[in-house]
Amino acid sequence: MGRAKEEWMRREELEPMYEWIEENYGEDAGEEGSETWNEAVKAFEEYCEDQYLLEEEAHRQDEYDYYIFLTLKDADLIFAKDISELRTMIAENSAMSANQTYLKMVLAHAVTVLEVYLEDITKSLIASNDAHLKNTIKNVKPFCDTPFKLREISIEKDGIKKFVIGKLSENLYHDIPKTIKILSGITGKKIELSIKEACRIAVIRHDIVHRNGKNKDGDHIEITYPFVLDALTSIETFAGDLRSNLSTL
Protein backbone atom coordinates (compact mmCIF):
# COMPACT_ATOMS: atom_id res chain seq x y z
CA MET A 1 0.00 0.00 0.00
CA GLY A 2 1.41 3.38 -1.00
CA ARG A 3 2.05 6.11 1.55
CA ALA A 4 -0.45 8.43 -0.13
CA LYS A 5 -3.18 5.81 0.19
CA GLU A 6 -2.24 5.12 3.82
CA GLU A 7 -2.47 8.84 4.59
CA TRP A 8 -5.83 9.08 2.84
CA MET A 9 -7.19 6.12 4.84
CA ARG A 10 -5.90 7.61 8.08
CA ARG A 11 -7.62 10.91 7.39
CA GLU A 12 -10.84 9.09 6.47
CA GLU A 13 -10.80 7.36 9.85
CA LEU A 14 -10.08 10.63 11.65
CA GLU A 15 -12.60 12.69 9.67
CA PRO A 16 -15.08 12.94 12.57
CA MET A 17 -12.31 14.34 14.76
CA TYR A 18 -11.28 16.94 12.19
CA GLU A 19 -14.89 18.01 11.73
CA TRP A 20 -15.45 18.30 15.50
CA ILE A 21 -12.27 20.34 15.99
CA GLU A 22 -13.20 22.62 13.08
CA GLU A 23 -16.67 23.17 14.50
CA ASN A 24 -15.57 23.71 18.10
CA TYR A 25 -12.13 25.33 17.74
CA GLY A 26 -11.82 26.65 14.21
CA GLU A 27 -8.55 28.47 13.59
CA ASP A 28 -7.79 28.48 17.32
CA ALA A 29 -6.78 24.82 17.02
CA GLY A 30 -3.61 25.89 15.24
CA GLU A 31 -1.47 23.64 13.08
CA GLU A 32 -1.76 19.87 13.33
CA GLY A 33 0.79 18.65 15.86
CA SER A 34 0.98 21.96 17.73
CA GLU A 35 0.27 22.27 21.45
CA THR A 36 -3.13 23.88 20.83
CA TRP A 37 -3.97 21.16 18.30
CA ASN A 38 -3.08 18.43 20.79
CA GLU A 39 -5.30 20.11 23.38
CA ALA A 40 -8.16 20.08 20.86
CA VAL A 41 -7.55 16.40 20.15
CA LYS A 42 -7.65 15.65 23.86
CA ALA A 43 -10.91 17.60 24.17
CA PHE A 44 -12.37 15.54 21.30
CA GLU A 45 -11.35 12.30 23.01
CA GLU A 46 -13.02 13.46 26.23
CA TYR A 47 -16.13 14.40 24.23
CA CYS A 48 -16.21 10.92 22.69
CA GLU A 49 -15.88 9.30 26.10
CA ASP A 50 -18.70 11.45 27.46
CA GLN A 51 -20.92 10.51 24.49
CA TYR A 52 -20.13 6.85 25.03
CA LEU A 53 -21.09 7.11 28.69
CA LEU A 54 -24.33 8.89 27.77
CA GLU A 55 -25.20 6.14 25.29
CA GLU A 56 -24.34 3.49 27.87
CA GLU A 57 -26.56 5.20 30.42
CA ALA A 58 -29.45 5.40 27.94
CA HIS A 59 -29.07 1.71 27.18
CA ARG A 60 -28.92 0.85 30.87
CA GLN A 61 -32.06 2.87 31.48
CA ASP A 62 -33.93 1.03 28.71
CA GLU A 63 -32.73 -2.31 30.03
CA TYR A 64 -33.61 -1.39 33.60
CA ASP A 65 -37.09 -0.26 32.55
CA TYR A 66 -37.61 -3.73 31.06
CA TYR A 67 -36.29 -5.77 33.96
CA ILE A 68 -37.87 -3.76 36.75
CA PHE A 69 -41.25 -5.00 35.52
CA LEU A 70 -40.17 -8.51 34.42
CA THR A 71 -41.04 -11.08 37.07
CA LEU A 72 -39.67 -14.60 37.24
CA LYS A 73 -43.13 -15.82 36.23
CA ASP A 74 -43.00 -13.59 33.15
CA ALA A 75 -39.63 -15.07 32.22
CA ASP A 76 -41.04 -18.58 32.70
CA LEU A 77 -43.94 -17.85 30.37
CA ILE A 78 -41.71 -16.38 27.66
CA PHE A 79 -39.36 -19.37 27.86
CA ALA A 80 -42.19 -21.92 27.78
CA LYS A 81 -43.83 -20.18 24.81
CA ASP A 82 -40.60 -20.11 22.79
CA ILE A 83 -39.77 -23.77 23.45
CA SER A 84 -43.36 -24.77 22.68
CA GLU A 85 -43.21 -22.91 19.37
CA LEU A 86 -39.99 -24.74 18.47
CA ARG A 87 -41.69 -28.07 19.20
CA THR A 88 -44.69 -27.11 17.06
CA MET A 89 -42.46 -25.92 14.25
CA ILE A 90 -40.49 -29.14 13.93
CA ALA A 91 -43.62 -31.28 14.37
CA GLU A 92 -45.37 -29.47 11.51
CA ASN A 93 -42.34 -29.73 9.20
CA SER A 94 -41.88 -33.50 9.03
CA ALA A 95 -40.37 -33.16 5.55
CA MET A 96 -37.41 -31.40 7.19
CA SER A 97 -36.87 -34.07 9.87
CA ALA A 98 -33.73 -35.34 8.15
CA ASN A 99 -32.43 -31.96 7.00
CA GLN A 100 -29.21 -31.30 8.89
CA THR A 101 -29.21 -27.55 8.32
CA TYR A 102 -32.76 -27.22 9.61
CA LEU A 103 -32.12 -29.39 12.67
CA LYS A 104 -28.94 -27.50 13.51
CA MET A 105 -30.83 -24.21 13.33
CA VAL A 106 -33.55 -25.50 15.67
CA LEU A 107 -31.04 -26.84 18.19
CA ALA A 108 -28.95 -23.67 18.12
CA HIS A 109 -32.02 -21.50 18.65
CA ALA A 110 -33.22 -23.69 21.52
CA VAL A 111 -29.98 -22.93 23.37
CA THR A 112 -30.44 -19.24 22.54
CA VAL A 113 -33.90 -19.39 24.13
CA LEU A 114 -32.33 -20.93 27.24
CA GLU A 115 -29.59 -18.30 27.23
CA VAL A 116 -32.11 -15.45 27.14
CA TYR A 117 -34.14 -17.12 29.88
CA LEU A 118 -31.09 -17.37 32.14
CA GLU A 119 -30.24 -13.73 31.50
CA ASP A 120 -33.83 -12.68 32.18
CA ILE A 121 -34.10 -14.41 35.54
CA THR A 122 -30.62 -13.23 36.57
CA LYS A 123 -31.41 -9.57 35.93
CA SER A 124 -34.98 -9.82 37.19
CA LEU A 125 -33.71 -11.05 40.54
CA ILE A 126 -31.41 -8.03 40.88
CA ALA A 127 -33.95 -5.49 39.62
CA SER A 128 -36.67 -6.65 42.00
CA ASN A 129 -34.74 -7.06 45.25
CA ASP A 130 -32.14 -4.85 46.95
CA ALA A 131 -30.85 -7.83 48.95
CA HIS A 132 -30.01 -9.58 45.69
CA LEU A 133 -28.25 -6.42 44.51
CA LYS A 134 -26.12 -6.37 47.66
CA ASN A 135 -25.33 -10.08 47.25
CA THR A 136 -24.28 -9.46 43.65
CA ILE A 137 -21.89 -6.67 44.59
CA LYS A 138 -20.46 -8.80 47.40
CA ASN A 139 -20.25 -12.20 45.69
CA VAL A 140 -20.21 -11.84 41.90
CA LYS A 141 -17.31 -10.88 39.64
CA PRO A 142 -16.38 -8.31 38.47
CA PHE A 143 -18.17 -6.34 41.20
CA CYS A 144 -16.55 -8.09 44.14
CA ASP A 145 -12.93 -7.73 42.97
CA THR A 146 -12.69 -4.89 40.43
CA PRO A 147 -12.60 -1.13 41.08
CA PHE A 148 -14.85 1.08 38.96
CA LYS A 149 -14.77 4.80 38.26
CA LEU A 150 -17.61 6.77 39.83
CA ARG A 151 -18.30 8.41 36.46
CA GLU A 152 -19.36 4.99 35.17
CA ILE A 153 -22.21 4.93 37.67
CA SER A 154 -25.16 7.29 37.51
CA ILE A 155 -25.82 9.11 40.79
CA GLU A 156 -29.55 9.26 40.13
CA LYS A 157 -32.05 6.85 41.67
CA ASP A 158 -31.20 3.17 41.11
CA GLY A 159 -27.97 4.13 39.32
CA ILE A 160 -25.98 1.32 40.95
CA LYS A 161 -28.69 -1.21 40.12
CA LYS A 162 -28.73 -0.09 36.48
CA PHE A 163 -24.94 -0.26 36.34
CA VAL A 164 -24.85 -3.80 37.74
CA ILE A 165 -27.57 -5.04 35.39
CA GLY A 166 -25.84 -3.40 32.44
CA LYS A 167 -22.46 -4.89 33.36
CA LEU A 168 -23.99 -8.36 33.57
CA SER A 169 -24.92 -8.04 29.88
CA GLU A 170 -21.26 -8.80 29.15
CA ASN A 171 -21.72 -12.40 30.36
CA LEU A 172 -22.31 -15.36 28.05
CA TYR A 173 -25.30 -17.05 29.60
CA HIS A 174 -24.84 -20.26 27.63
CA ASP A 175 -21.80 -20.76 29.86
CA ILE A 176 -23.93 -22.82 32.21
CA PRO A 177 -21.43 -23.35 35.08
CA LYS A 178 -20.60 -19.64 35.22
CA THR A 179 -24.27 -18.64 35.11
CA ILE A 180 -25.13 -20.99 37.97
CA LYS A 181 -22.23 -19.54 39.96
CA ILE A 182 -23.55 -16.02 39.31
CA LEU A 183 -27.06 -17.01 40.40
CA SER A 184 -25.65 -18.61 43.54
CA GLY A 185 -23.86 -15.35 44.33
CA ILE A 186 -26.99 -13.29 43.69
CA THR A 187 -29.23 -15.45 45.86
CA GLY A 188 -26.61 -15.98 48.56
CA LYS A 189 -27.12 -19.74 48.50
CA LYS A 190 -25.48 -22.56 46.60
CA ILE A 191 -27.66 -23.74 43.74
CA GLU A 192 -27.34 -27.47 43.32
CA LEU A 193 -28.70 -29.19 40.23
CA SER A 194 -27.47 -31.40 37.42
CA ILE A 195 -26.00 -29.32 34.60
CA LYS A 196 -24.20 -32.04 32.64
CA GLU A 197 -26.78 -32.44 29.87
CA ALA A 198 -27.40 -28.71 29.50
CA CYS A 199 -23.63 -28.18 29.19
CA ARG A 200 -23.35 -30.91 26.56
CA ILE A 201 -26.10 -29.33 24.47
CA ALA A 202 -24.52 -25.89 24.85
CA VAL A 203 -21.19 -27.28 23.59
CA ILE A 204 -22.91 -28.79 20.55
CA ARG A 205 -24.59 -25.45 19.89
CA HIS A 206 -21.14 -23.82 20.01
CA ASP A 207 -19.89 -26.37 17.45
CA ILE A 208 -22.89 -25.63 15.23
CA VAL A 209 -22.55 -21.86 15.40
CA HIS A 210 -18.77 -21.62 15.13
CA ARG A 211 -17.79 -24.75 13.16
CA ASN A 212 -20.98 -25.61 11.25
CA GLY A 213 -21.51 -28.77 13.23
CA LYS A 214 -17.96 -30.04 13.64
CA ASN A 215 -16.31 -30.57 16.99
CA LYS A 216 -12.88 -29.20 17.90
CA ASP A 217 -11.25 -32.31 16.40
CA GLY A 218 -12.92 -31.61 13.06
CA ASP A 219 -15.35 -34.52 13.29
CA HIS A 220 -18.86 -33.92 11.98
CA ILE A 221 -21.64 -34.11 14.58
CA GLU A 222 -24.78 -35.75 13.22
CA ILE A 223 -27.89 -33.99 14.46
CA THR A 224 -30.99 -36.20 14.28
CA TYR A 225 -34.66 -35.39 14.76
CA PRO A 226 -34.94 -37.54 17.94
CA PHE A 227 -31.81 -35.87 19.34
CA VAL A 228 -33.30 -32.41 18.85
CA LEU A 229 -36.52 -33.48 20.59
CA ASP A 230 -34.50 -34.91 23.48
CA ALA A 231 -32.45 -31.69 23.64
CA LEU A 232 -35.62 -29.60 23.94
CA THR A 233 -36.79 -31.86 26.78
CA SER A 234 -33.40 -31.62 28.50
CA ILE A 235 -33.45 -27.83 28.24
CA GLU A 236 -36.96 -27.69 29.71
CA THR A 237 -35.93 -30.05 32.52
CA PHE A 238 -32.86 -27.98 33.35
CA ALA A 239 -34.87 -24.75 33.39
CA GLY A 240 -37.54 -26.36 35.60
CA ASP A 241 -34.97 -27.71 38.06
CA LEU A 242 -33.33 -24.29 38.26
CA ARG A 243 -36.64 -22.57 38.93
CA SER A 244 -37.37 -25.09 41.68
CA ASN A 245 -34.14 -23.96 43.33
CA LEU A 246 -35.28 -20.34 43.07
CA SER A 247 -38.90 -20.94 44.05
CA THR A 248 -38.37 -20.00 47.69
CA LEU A 249 -37.00 -16.54 46.83
Give pLDDT, residue 7: 55
**Could you give phi then psi for residue 93, rounded to 5 degrees?**
-125, 55
- Which of 36-50, 72-86, 206-220 has maximum average pLDDT? 72-86
Cα–Cα distance for residue pair 116/112, rounded to 1 Å = 6
* Contact by Cβ (8 Å): 94, 195: no
Hey, where are the domains in the chain? 1-67, 72-246
pLDDT score of 249 more than 70? no
- What is the mean predicted confidence (pLDDT) over 117-146? 93
pLDDT score of 33 more than 70? yes
CA angle, 237 as apex, 236 and 238 as ends, to 5°?
90
Give pLDDT, residue 226: 94
Beta bridge partners of 214: 220
